[in-house]
A and B are shown apart, each in its own frame.
Chain A
Amino acid sequence: MVASLLILHYVHYQKSYDRYIESGDRVYRLRYERSAEGGTFVRFSSACPAAAPALREHFPEIEKIARIFRHRAVISYQDKKFQENRMFYIEADFLDLFNIDFLEGDKDALREGSGKAAISASTARKYFGEEDPLGKRISLDQQEDFLITGVYQDFPENSHIKCDILLSYQNLVASRGTELQQSWGHTMFYTYLMLKPGTDAKSLESKFPELIKEQAGELMEYFGVVIYLKLQPLYDIHLNSHFMQELEANGNADTLRYLVIVAIFIMLMAWVNYVNLSTAQALNRAREVGIRKVIGANRRQLIVQFFWETILINIIAVVIAITLCELLLTEFYQFAGLPENLQFLQQSYFWQIIGYLFAGGVILSGLYPVLLLSSYQPRKVLKGKLGNKGSGFGLRRALVLFQYLMALLLIIGTITVSQQISYMRNQPLGFNMEQSLVLKAPRVVSGSMDEKFETFKVEVERLPGVLKSAFCTEVPGRQILWDNGAIHKAGDDPSSGKNYQIVGVDYDYIEFFELEMANGRGFSREFPSDKKALVLNEKAVQWMGFEDPDDAVGKAVDYWGEIYPIIGVVKNFHQQSLKADFEPHIYRFMLSSPRGVFVLKLNSTQVPVTVQAVQKIWQDMFSGNPYDFFFLDDYYNQQYEADELFGRIFGLFSILAIFITSLGILGLTAFSAVQRSKEVGIRKVLGANVSDILYLMARDYIRLLIIAFVVSIPLALYGIRIWLESYAFKMTPDYMIFIIALGVVGIITLMTVFAQTYRVATTNPVKAIRYE
């Protein structure tokens, strides 16, 4: 019960995402999709900047629509400097769409004009401490100043978007130019809209293609692409959205579904135990029922009596469950990675669940035994004519069978999940990420960025703790965010252009990660012309229509009208976790970018010292920029966190399931050992020895277990197939897992049965036979 409550709590939290927004059922996110002839299809979570104004103009059923644009930059106030990653330029309607709650200042100030900013309460504390932030000026990358006009309540944890700083949209227009605002080709403009009540989103969506054709027809024809705009309900975002450029890693609806199923299983198993034990007990209580009936109780009175007993037991269970939940909550939050201030006892849904569990418990676990008990014929009962055949025997078997099935499936599931994770972790990645320190590139650099970056690498490589270094725009560990469409083989028809992921890299990138070349070479200082050349990966070679890497090297690529020769092809490597398939990459030459990173390979000794030494160089060269670093292996392995959490939760609950099952079996064998003590005595007189008796008692369970095992195989295979579908690189299921699961459950059953039966099997049969 505790377990189910906690799981359901977790599920509820995940489902609660964005529910805090008033009339959120009318709020949608506008998404941009682009398909190119020849198959590439990219789905973004954001939209193009031109979409919102066009929609606002053409569709009166849209009540509000707002674009926001994320900007990552360094914000400073006096001597305080922080890299801000959750900063957005926003259009005014955004404030209403997300019910942003202003604690101080004027909400409307941000609607007009430029150079204004609103900050969240926690951001205010970070920069200003106890001071009043209103009227203060913060500086963005030490280039632009913003006046703080408001402080708002932090976005809740269960919001798919969390903004720390909101900036006037006008400043974005000013800094990036008005041309961008009319683009149908760029994305990254997250667009949210609210429909007027009663508007059908689907029919509105169906009107989009026409508008897009009217506004962007030429563009689409030129690049040979089709653009789509989609409406995504706000409530779907957290659990069902896995598009490019998501604001934060979203949850997984499938995982939640599995967890709900597990929670229900566990609850059912517990109830099954109760039914099993109480029907078994019923035989013992049959005499009581008989006597009560003889002294005049009618059936209804008996039902009432037994029902009260069930209710009482359930009340006790609920109270214990709530107490345990409260005690375990903190650990559970840590375990499941939830924020800790959810106040879950105060939430009405919690009591609702309790109510359901209670009602379910009373009805499911109470009804059957109660009816069974009250139906006994007193005459038969008192004469002792109630065998242990009939009277719930068949039901008990079915229930034990069910429990076995659950336990087997859970064990198989746990092993599968952990095998897939270890499979993914143990595959060669195709690159070396050991001892790699990643530094986020400085945003504010005086003088030539290229030169500074090159000098920095030379400087750090002088440190004894640094073996080598490189610069690139993306390190392995996530999907590459930079992608460009309409790229094709030089000389081919432009309509054959496809979408590729672009990584800017320096001379040392390929050597740094020890990437293997399929053909050709990497960028080299010896060839000045390399600055205008490309390296592809094997997948990109295939996409572009070359026969093989040998064919590609020496040919050229048409990249938006410019012709780049291909100088080399790298073998595919796992840029992302093995959940994702290989994607076509194009490596461009690039010495610097404010969005890039430095990677440094460290000597394994004295890492902290080296990190500090690098910091010193950093501060000398890039003062004013935060020293923000992480280790590549941690970063890369974060991709498996969700799976590992899933595996952990699954594992925990399968242990619980086995425990519940064995408790049930324990109770039942304890009971049947007593029930059958006479039979055991007789059999011993007839010459049965201890092992015969143990076999006799365990036989039923073994038979049920084997049936459950046979049933579980197709179910588990089906489940495993479904689950593995979301992984691009799948392990081949090892059929030993079935045997292991069977073994685990079998051994636990036998141990349980033996522990209970051994005493009966070894007692002197005379006792059982002589004293009735």
Chain B
Amino acid sequence: MIQISHLFKYYTNKFIKTYVLQDVNLSVAEGEFVTIMGPSGAGKSTLLYILGMLDEANSGEYFFRNNSVHSLNERQRTHLHKHEIGFVFQNYHLIDELTVYENIEAPLLYQKIKSSDRKGKIAEVLDQFNIVAKKDLFPYQLSGGQQQLVGIARAIIAQPRLLLADEPTGNLNSAQGEEIMELLSQLNRQGTTIIQVTHSEKNAAYGQRIIHLLDGKVVKTEELKKKKTG
């Protein structure tokens, strides 16, 4: 599904290039659950954002489902990102002014989906995540775990093939964290490809493969045994 080769990303400051990513090669198959790990500043998030087409690499090739992302224009990239990719953030990034319902609805609005279709989809997701009762609340009225549930609901509402999660449990206590991780692996079993960034070995265990980054380089790739649970 994803094919990255010779990816470089650097920032130029007073003619000195600071490399964030150096010669990263990576491939992810459809339906995989991949974890990116590494110390702070290793370039994990940058890699994730590049994968999510929110950021661009300075050089290298990126194929997403046989589209060469590096040569697409902004419009085509937005289209791809809108329809194929969902994001989950460490601090949820819900829109404060909107209710739970409206937050989940937002991506659908940008995809110009009809009102009646939107209602059906949102109802389904609210039901699936067991947050129907909370649909008219504002984000600040929810606990962190609940907010992240909404965050994930929003990320998958448009049925993306790829879900990118940046430390999805970073701000949660362990019980809430576990709940979220269970949800992610469930989504993965239903066919969504997931790439997550995390510090936690425990969370990494939910995936099938761990990519270790250090100073912008892939230092190790670790295959995990597939869990056969559920």
**Residues on A close to B: CB < 8 A?**
385, 387-389, 678-679, 681-689, 692, 764-766, 769-770, 772
Q: Using A682-B95, A683-B95 as known contacts, say yes or no to A766 and B110 having CB atoms under 8 A apart.
A: no
Count of B residues near A, CB < 8 Å? 23
Q: Which residue of A387, A679, A687, A769 contacts B89 across the interface (Cβ within 8 Å)? A: A769
Q: How far is the CA of A689 from the CA of B49 in the complex (A)?
A: 17
Q: Using A692-B110, A772-B91 as known contacts, say yes or no to A687 and B54 having CB atoms under 8 A apart.
A: no
Q: Which residue of A683, A689, A764, A770 contacts B45 across the interface (Cβ within 8 Å)? A: A770
Q: Using A385-B140, A692-B110, A769-B89 as known contacts, say yes or no to A687 and B78 having CB atoms under 8 A apart.
A: yes
Q: How far is the CA of A389 from the CA of B81 in the complex (A)?
A: 31
Determine if A687 and B81 form an interchain contact, defined as CB atoms under 8 angstroms apart.
Answer: yes
Residue B187 lies at the interface, judged by CB distance under 8 Å to chain A: no
Most-contacted residue by chain B among A387, A687, A772 (CB, 10 A): A687
Query: What are 28 A-B pairs at a CB distance below 8 A?
Result: A387-B96, A387-B140, A388-B97, A389-B96, A678-B93, A679-B95, A679-B97, A681-B93, A682-B93, A682-B95, A683-B95, A683-B110, A684-B54, A685-B87, A686-B107, A686-B110, A686-B154, A687-B78, A687-B81, A687-B111, A689-B110, A692-B110, A765-B54, A766-B54, A766-B55, A769-B89, A769-B93, A770-B45
Q: Which residue of A385, A682, A766, A772 contacts B49 across the interface (Cβ within 8 Å)? A: A766
Q: How far is the CA of A769 from the CA of B87 in the complex (A)?
A: 12
- Distance in Å: Cβ of B172 to nearest Cβ of chain A: 17
Q: How far is the CA of A772 from the CA of B93 in the complex (A)?
A: 11
- Distance in Å: Cβ of B102 to nearest Cβ of chain A: 12
- Distance in Å: Cβ of A764 to nearest Cβ of chain B: 7
| Nearest A residue (CB) for B81 | A687
Most-contacted residue by chain A among B110, B111, B158 (CB, 10 A): B110
- Distance in Å: Cβ of B58 to nearest Cβ of chain A: 14
Q: Considering the complex of A and B, which 4 residue pairs feature the smallest CB-CB distances, nearest first?
A: A687-B82, A687-B110, A686-B107, A682-B93
**Residues on B close to A: CB < 8 A?**
45, 49, 52, 54-55, 78, 81-82, 87, 89, 91, 93-97, 106-107, 110-111, 140, 154, 158
- Distance in Å: Cβ of A633 to nearest Cβ of chain B: 62
| Nearest A residue (CB) for B107 | A686
Contact residues in B for A684 (Cβ distance below 8 Å): 54
- Distance in Å: Cβ of B155 to nearest Cβ of chain A: 9
| Nearest B residue (CB) for A682 | B93
Contact residues in B for A681 (Cβ distance below 8 Å): 93
Q: How far is the CA of A388 from the CA of B97 in the complex (A)?
A: 8
- Distance in Å: Cβ of A186 to nearest Cβ of chain B: 79
Determine if A686 and B106 form an interchain contact, defined as CB atoms under 8 angstroms apart.
Answer: yes
Contact residues in A for B89 (Cβ distance below 8 Å): 769
Contact residues in A for B94 (Cβ distance below 8 Å): 682
- Distance in Å: Cβ of A134 to nearest Cβ of chain B: 85
Q: How far is the CA of A681 from the CA of B91 in the complex (A)?
A: 13
Most-contacted residue by chain B among A385, A765, A772 (CB, 10 A): A765
- Distance in Å: Cβ of A692 to nearest Cβ of chain B: 6
- Distance in Å: Cβ of A320 to nearest Cβ of chain B: 38
Q: Which residue of B45, B78, B93, B97 contacts A389 across the interface (Cβ within 8 Å)? A: B97
Determine if B107 and A687 form an interchain contact, defined as CB atoms under 8 angstroms apart.
Answer: yes
Q: How far is the CA of A772 from the CA of B92 in the complex (A)?
A: 12
Contact residues in A for B91 (Cβ distance below 8 Å): 772
Determine if A688 and B110 form an interchain contact, defined as CB atoms under 8 angstroms apart.
Answer: yes
Q: How far is the CA of A692 from the CA of B97 in the complex (A)?
A: 17
| Nearest B residue (CB) for A772 | B91
Contact residues in B for A692 (Cβ distance below 8 Å): 110
- Distance in Å: Cβ of B166 to nearest Cβ of chain A: 9
- Distance in Å: Cβ of A283 to nearest Cβ of chain B: 13
Determine if B96 and A679 form an interchain contact, defined as CB atoms under 8 angstroms apart.
Answer: yes
Given contacts A686-B106, A687-B82, A772-B91, 20 further A-B contacts (CB under 8 A): A387-B97, A679-B95, A682-B93, A682-B94, A682-B95, A683-B95, A683-B110, A684-B54, A685-B93, A686-B107, A686-B110, A686-B154, A687-B107, A688-B110, A689-B78, A689-B110, A765-B54, A766-B54, A766-B55, A769-B89
Contact residues in B for A389 (Cβ distance below 8 Å): 96-97
- Distance in Å: Cβ of A112 to nearest Cβ of chain B: 88
Q: How far is the CA of A348 from the CA of B208 in the complex (A)?
A: 86
Contact residues in A for B93 (Cβ distance below 8 Å): 678, 681-682, 685, 769
- Distance in Å: Cβ of A368 to nearest Cβ of chain B: 23
| Nearest B residue (CB) for A768 | B93
Most-contacted residue by chain A among B54, B81, B87, B97 (CB, 10 A): B54
Q: How far is the CA of A683 from the CA of B45 in the complex (A)?
A: 19
Q: How far is the CA of A683 from the CA of B81 in the complex (A)?
A: 12
Q: How far is the CA of A688 from the CA of B87 in the complex (A)?
A: 14
Q: How far is the CA of A238 from the CA of B124 in the complex (A)?
A: 77
| Nearest A residue (CB) for B95 | A679
| Nearest B residue (CB) for A689 | B78
Contact residues in A for B52 (Cβ distance below 8 Å): 685
Q: How far is the CA of A679 from the CA of B154 in the complex (A)?
A: 15
Contact residues in B for A683 (Cβ distance below 8 Å): 95, 106, 110
- Distance in Å: Cβ of A769 to nearest Cβ of chain B: 6
Most-contacted residue by chain B among A385, A389, A686, A688 (CB, 10 A): A686
| Nearest A residue (CB) for B48 | A766
- Distance in Å: Cβ of B55 to nearest Cβ of chain A: 5
Contact residues in A for B111 (Cβ distance below 8 Å): 687
- Distance in Å: Cβ of B221 to nearest Cβ of chain A: 25
Contact residues in B for A764 (Cβ distance below 8 Å): 54-55
Contact residues in A for B106 (Cβ distance below 8 Å): 683, 686, 688
Contact residues in B for A772 (Cβ distance below 8 Å): 91
Contact residues in B for A765 (Cβ distance below 8 Å): 54
Contact residues in A for B45 (Cβ distance below 8 Å): 770
| Nearest A residue (CB) for B87 | A685
Q: How far is the CA of A764 from the CA of B110 in the complex (A)?
A: 18
- Distance in Å: Cβ of A206 to nearest Cβ of chain B: 69
| Nearest B residue (CB) for A389 | B97
| Nearest A residue (CB) for B82 | A687
| Nearest B residue (CB) for A685 | B87
Contact residues in B for A686 (Cβ distance below 8 Å): 87, 106-107, 110, 154
- Distance in Å: Cβ of A86 to nearest Cβ of chain B: 71
- Distance in Å: Cβ of A729 to nearest Cβ of chain B: 54
- Distance in Å: Cβ of B87 to nearest Cβ of chain A: 5
Q: How far is the CA of A517 from the CA of B87 in the complex (A)?
A: 87
Q: How far is the CA of A687 from the CA of B95 in the complex (A)?
A: 14
Q: How far is the CA of A766 from the CA of B97 in the complex (A)?
A: 20
| Nearest A residue (CB) for B155 | A686
Contact residues in A for B78 (Cβ distance below 8 Å): 687, 689
- Distance in Å: Cβ of B129 to nearest Cβ of chain A: 17
Q: How far is the CA of A765 from the CA of B55 in the complex (A)?
A: 9
Q: How far is the CA of A769 from the CA of B94 in the complex (A)?
A: 11
Q: How far is the CA of A351 from the CA of B96 in the complex (A)?
A: 49
